[in-house]
């Protein structure tokens, strides 16, 4: 059975605090008629610190889409390999042991994908399958887990590498003054994450079932308006209400697996904001503390898009995981409105023979 191993996560060295964000909003938008509302919404996100790939002075500039995308490519190539190496080490594997790379990102564009560069630069086999995914936004982390699970189900002896690379700060648009845009300026951060799904062996979550769901007629609730200046983030005020229709979907997936979604041992979900987590706690009837890993990511890193789920999972691992066969749910939510959901059990049993063979 495929096992999702411990993720490796890295955030950039440039830090912006909540106080910095509020001060910048006041100085840059002093005449905005809805500034008090924007400040209140930013404070309510619970985000205390975020990490940026550039100093804030550079982040606030807009040299053009071409220049920003060049920064995205350079930063991805500079930062992703170290994270991938740590993820491989945690899984007890080498690049040559990987048969597929699932790469998710919604904050820059490369063709060929970064997967091609990684194969050449890090010694992956030339016949490694490439699965780049660009348009699922914050749901991308859950999607990557599910596609890696599908791949390892089809090829039980294979291993898949997941990489999430998000530099949300490169999407800052100084001319976008809507409340949704001002809120996003205080919500999103930058981060890189990677994890391995092993077809055999490993410590982590044994993946048992996955599913996807699209809430009908919500495709314009979270979107990019792509212009000459790049990606302009569009956020509908109805987005925070999406857990009410999605909670029954999560319940149905668990019921089809013979589980009760309200009685699982752990929950790893995308933290788009505190309202998402509060509502999910309410509608799934689970204690708020069930989402402590997601809340910690939101507080310390902000919304790092597709990397959120992997960072919350990393925190779960760092706490010691759970008892063997503990049941859990992993879910990512994003544009569509799309939900990507996974059910699995914790397994702490290492396949020692496989690890030793991989190390030879």
Q: Please give the helix or strand (H or E) that residue 45 lies within, else none.
A: none
Residue 237: predicted pLDDT = 87
Taking the model in full, what pTM does it have?
Answer: 0.93
d(CA 335, CA 89): 33
Residue-wise pLDDT tens digits, 188-240: 999 999 999 999 999 999 999 999 999 999 999 999 999 999 999 988 889 88
- The answer to whether the 3-198 and 204-347 domains have the same CATH topology is yes
309 contact partners, CB below 8 Å, separation of at least 6:
141, 142, 145, 268, 269, 270, 330, 331, 332
Instruction: Identify whether the C-beta of residue 308 lies closer than 8 Å to the C-beta of residue 297.
Output: yes
Is residue 51 scored above 50 in pLDDT? yes
- In CATH terms, 204-347 corresponds, of 3.90.1170.50, 3.90.950.20, 3.40.47.10, 3.60.150.10, to 3.40.47.10
- CATH homologous superfamily of domain 3-198? Thiolase/Chalcone synthase (3.40.47.10)
β-bridge pairing 159-167 and 129-133: unpaired
Active site residues: 138
Mean pLDDT, the chain, integer: 93
Share of the chain above pLDDT 90, in %: 87
Residue ranges in 45-168 assigned as alpha helix (H): 56-59, 65-91, 114-122, 140-154
Residue-wise pLDDT tens digits, 135-151: 999 999 999 999 999 99
Domain ranges of the chain: 3-198, 204-347
């Amino acid at each position: 059975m495929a096992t999702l191993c411990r993720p490796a996560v890295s955030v950039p060295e440039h830090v912006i605090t909540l106080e910095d964000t509020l001060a910048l909003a006041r100085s840059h938008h002093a005449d905005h008629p809805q500034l008090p509302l924007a400040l209140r919404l930013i404070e309510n996100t619970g985000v205390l610190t975020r990490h940026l790939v550039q100093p804030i002075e550079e982040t606030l500039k807009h040299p053009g889409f071409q220049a920003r995308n060049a920064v995205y490519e350079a930063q991805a190539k500079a930062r992703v390999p170290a994270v991938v190496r740590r993820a491989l080490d945690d899984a007890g594997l080498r690049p040559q042991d990987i048969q597929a790379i699932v790469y998710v990102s919604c904050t820059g564009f490369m063709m060929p994908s970064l997967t091609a560069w990684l194969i050449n630069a890090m010694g992956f086999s030339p016949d490694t399958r490439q699965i780049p995914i660009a348009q699922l936004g914050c749901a991308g982390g859950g999607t990557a887990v599910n596609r890696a699970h599908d791949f390892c189900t089809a090829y039980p002896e294979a291993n898949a590498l997941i990489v999430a690379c998000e530099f949300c700060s490169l999407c800052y648009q100084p001319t976008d003054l809507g409340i949704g845009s001002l809120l996003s300026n205080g919500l999103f951060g930058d981060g890189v994450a990677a994890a391995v799904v092993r077809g055999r062996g490993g410590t982590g979550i044994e993946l048992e079932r996955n599913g996807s769901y699209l809430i009908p007629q919500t495709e314009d609730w979270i979107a990019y308006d792509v212009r000459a200046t790049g990606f302009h983030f569009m956020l509908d005020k109805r987005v925070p209400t999406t857990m009410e229709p999605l909670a029954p979907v999560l319940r149905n997936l668990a019921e089809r697996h013979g589980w009760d979604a309200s009685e699982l041992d752990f929950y790893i979900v995308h933290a788009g904001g505190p309202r998402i987590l509060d509502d999910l706690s309410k509608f799934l009837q689970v204690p708020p503390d069930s989402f402590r890993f997601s809340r910690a990511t939101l507080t310390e890193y902000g919304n790092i898009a597709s990397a959120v789920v992997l960072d919350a999972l990393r925190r779960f691992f760092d706490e010691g995981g759970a008892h063997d066969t503990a049941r859990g749910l992993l879910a990512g939510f994003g544009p569509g409105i799309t939900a990507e959901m996974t059910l699995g059990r914790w397994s702490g049993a290492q396949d020692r023979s496989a690890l030793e063979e991989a190390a030879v």
